[in-house]
Amino acid sequence: MHDQATALRKMAIQKNPAHKGSLRVIAVTSGKGGVGKTNFTVNIALALIDMGYRVIILDGDLGLANVDIACGVTPHFTLEHLLSGEKTIEEILVYGPKGLGILPGGSGVQDLANIERANLENVIRNLGRLEGLTDILIIDTGAGLGHTVTNFLKAADDIILLTTPEPTALTDAYGMLKALSSDDPEDPEDPEDKKIKVNVVVNRVAQETDARLTFERLENAVHKFLHGSVSLLGWVYEDPSVGKAIMNQEPLAIAYPTSSAYRCIQWIAGSVSGLYLAPPRKAAGIRGFLTQLLRR
């Protein structure tokens, strides 16, 4: 495991020694709850930190915000305090294992997705400082197909869609893809507005074959009914260590770094790192993210 992490870190640093360039925003979604989205988000963030990246997670789940719980930290302020002007970005940021930054969302997440123009200058000034604080901003979106979720997904640079082999999870993942493909067509006047690219991760699989079959079912449905495409980013094996880590309120990366599930996540992090080193579209930074969000 240590050899693998070292090799991934060296590869990332060799290709991009100073991690220069605009901050990139990646959104993790699932279409439904209960598929392990938050656990995956926290652990891939920690794997990316091991590769030399600075990472901050924005907890985007309105009703069940639990990134802080998964990391064993207690935030005192949320994004709502930033939007109201009471606190700065530095004051609401809390730090977890390995220096992982966490932006507690609360009800402020919905306010950010529907931000009032009067508050825009203050928000841009504060969120703009994220450029100097992190290399990657990961949004742990809420479950479901609400506008807040889809707005964040469409504004992000990359999307990771987490699902499991269960038929209900697969159906909900398809529903999310359908919402993304039909709700907002491309803007012909914007040359940078390209088709949304979705990277799929299949969680809780017994073997590789299960993951590939699950992805093929989803891919065939997307191709046939949505006339689109998705990419298989990777899979995570079913592992009892995941449940133990959750019960202890400790990330898998810290509690069981040699577990089969975390090794899968490290491998996926290596692929994600490659995405950021050769992105499908130019990173526009936090201002670009807000611009896309406001356009929605």
- pLDDT at residue 1, as a whole number: 45
The percentage of the chain sitting over the pLDDT mark of 90, rounded to a whole number, equals 51
CA distance 80 to 87: 9
Per-domain boundaries in the chain: 2-13+26-295
Taking only the tens place, the pLDDT of each residue in 183-237 is 555 554 554 455 678 999 999 999 999 999 999 999 999 999 999 999 999 999 9
Residue 94: name the closest of 111, 107, 81, 110 by CA. 81
Query: Band of the pLDDT at 17, cuts 50, 70, 90?
Result: very low
pLDDT of 238 over the 50 cut? yes
State the pTM of this model.
0.85
CB-CB neighbours of 8 under 10 Å: 22
Taking only the tens place, the pLDDT of each residue in 253-293 is 999 999 999 999 999 998 998 754 333 355 667 888 888 88
CA distance 26 to 156: 6
- pLDDT at residue 172, as a whole number: 94
- pLDDT at residue 151, as a whole number: 85
How many CA atoms are closer than 13 Å to the CA of 194, on its beta-carbon side?
A: 10
Query: Band of the pLDDT at 66, cuts 50, 70, 90?
Result: confident
Q: Which CATH number is 2-13+26-295 given?
A: 3.40.50.300
Local structure of 216: helix, strand or coil: helix
> For the residues 106-125, what does the mean pLDDT come to?
76
